[in-house]
Chain A
Amino acid sequence: MNTDTIKKEKNTSAKAERITGSEAIIRCLIAEGVKTLYGYPGGAIMPVYDELYKYQDRIHHVLTRHEQGAAHAAQGYARISGKVGVAMATSGPGATNLVTGIADAQIDSTPLVCITGQVPSPLLGTDAFQETDIVGISTPVTKWNVQVTKAADIPEAIAKAFYIAKSGRPGPVLIDITKDAQFEEFDFIYEKCTGVRSYNPVPKTDINTVKAAAALINAAKKPMIVWGQGVILGKAEAELKAVIEKSGVPAAWTILGASAIPTAHPLNIGMVGMHGNYAPNKLTNECDVLIAIGMRFDDRVTGNLSTYAKQAKVVHFDIDPAEINKNVKADVAVLGDSKESLALLLSELNENTHDAWHQEFKALYAIEYDTVIKGDILPEKEGLTMGEVLRQINTYSKGDAAIVSDVGQHQMIACRYAEFNRSKSNITSGGLGTMGFALPAAIGAKMAAPEREVVAIIGDGGYQMNIQELGTIFQQKVPVKIVVLNNEFLGMVRQWQQLFFDKRYASTEMTNPDFVTIAKGYHIEAKRVTKRDELEAAIKEMIASKSSYFLEVCVEKEDNVFPMIPSGASVSDVRLS
């Protein structure tokens, strides 16, 4: 390695110690403040597990039941805490099983360090037992990755990995370490990385762009903010709140931006996107200035780009220069860290209230409430709805729970109706849409924030994609609350089949096992609710429980999620039914 390419924190007090590569890995993790990691042992990573055994009083390894579970648990850990999540696996299948979680972390900008064992370096390229080119495989889905074949290269690789994972726009990194490097002895010293010369994580904010943005916002008659996860990752919640309150600009959020501003905040106008709220979607095409903050104009947010906010001047705040003009052309682009750029913006903004403009949002909300929301959360029909489950959870968790949702109808309902009082409370697979995410992610979230109520909301399909992680919950005694909203369908796909494929329900109906018995098999307290009059008591009991709890709610089989922007349609063509 060319050591001039990185900057390190000088560690002058430490003396070099002669230790093995595998002990060095653990010592590096401890030096980076890692207290918990998730993983699964196997041949090529065994020397590291041997060291984990020796260091078990200082670092807690959680044995998941599948490497995918380890990756998602590490994601959940990172998303609720803002810290780097760590996952570990052996070579070959162990490493490939991490890939979905890594891809999920890449597209949702989650800081993750994955460590994989690799066959001994003399065997590289020989099709050795459990050999796979995980560096090659993970390249398109990692922020950075590297293979280490010498023990002496381990500290620098890990230091660089943590720095890259958490700095700038966060993301997953992977370090593949050959077994011979794990056994080899060398003189260990750890110095944290503070810079990489080829990498500029935070572009400098140009005050002139901030002034240009403020001028547009100050002159706007109908401005609208759409914020994304960049606000949470940049720890800029307070700055955003101050910007919104001073400028009076109505503010909507993307799915990953949810919870950065409390749901109940009067200027919070709801979610944008395919199943977002009616008003912010509709009025995206009527605003005169659209202020995008730490979001990336995903196709699920914009619908058809050729009819997206064409009337508006677009101001785009982002840390990643590659996001500027990628999907939507920005009239003013403000690069940099959201905390810093929003603070600069605040001092340039005029006070305003935009009362008449807010009335337009309120009028559309009233339409959405009458046609969709009321029926979802206060249904009068016989069958249970997902929305009323969320309403009860809100009531008993008082909006303080972290909601970890999987992917599909229940996810959209959870994001639409969950009430959040605090940031980092909506943990879901947004960009990749990974079914099977929620159960392991909830484990990681609860372990990172044991003081918080963590409720996983999962469909019957996604639940069975990583259902084996009930074993981890049982073994580790993780007091997560698991709610399965069972409609005996892959509901979102079924909804599309109903709306766009003439109700041809190809492979979406599920014959499910007895989920309560399965949970009980793992010694998890479990209950099934099939009637409305049982629901409230069950949710009350679940939230009150001090241990893990499984609740199956059998909901209406063929309910649909609305509003909906059909794929390829314009945001202003959002449908209410």
Chain B
Amino acid sequence: MGTVTVLTESSAEVAGDVVDGRVAIDASALTDAIGWQLKPEGLCQADVCVPVPDQAALMLGDRIDVAAAAAAVGRSSLVDAEHAAIAVSQPATARDTVVNGMQAPNLVLPDLDGNEVAMAEFRGRKKLLVVFASW
């Protein structure tokens, strides 16, 4: 088995292969890949489980199709077979919470020294989020 790169809010290298344009990984690697685990009750993250009525539809042989698992939790994806990579979107519900629900997510990003900073650390203050760049 080779290695595939799963690009979400971070980048994870997991054991797997690209088969006919689909990224196949062992079920045990799914948590590392997209943060969800396949259980009999569905795809689970901490105490939350999303029911998956047809678990067979997530499988490629005895392995998991990352794109299908991601789609089951509301995340779209695109595969770059040449570089054995799959980019996975944020959940549709997360975008809806911001744009329509007007609730700021707890975005976690590194500062310029590489220390992770969570937006939740600034709760209690009014905040101006400034998206900028050098370009």
Q: Do A and B come from one complex?
A: no
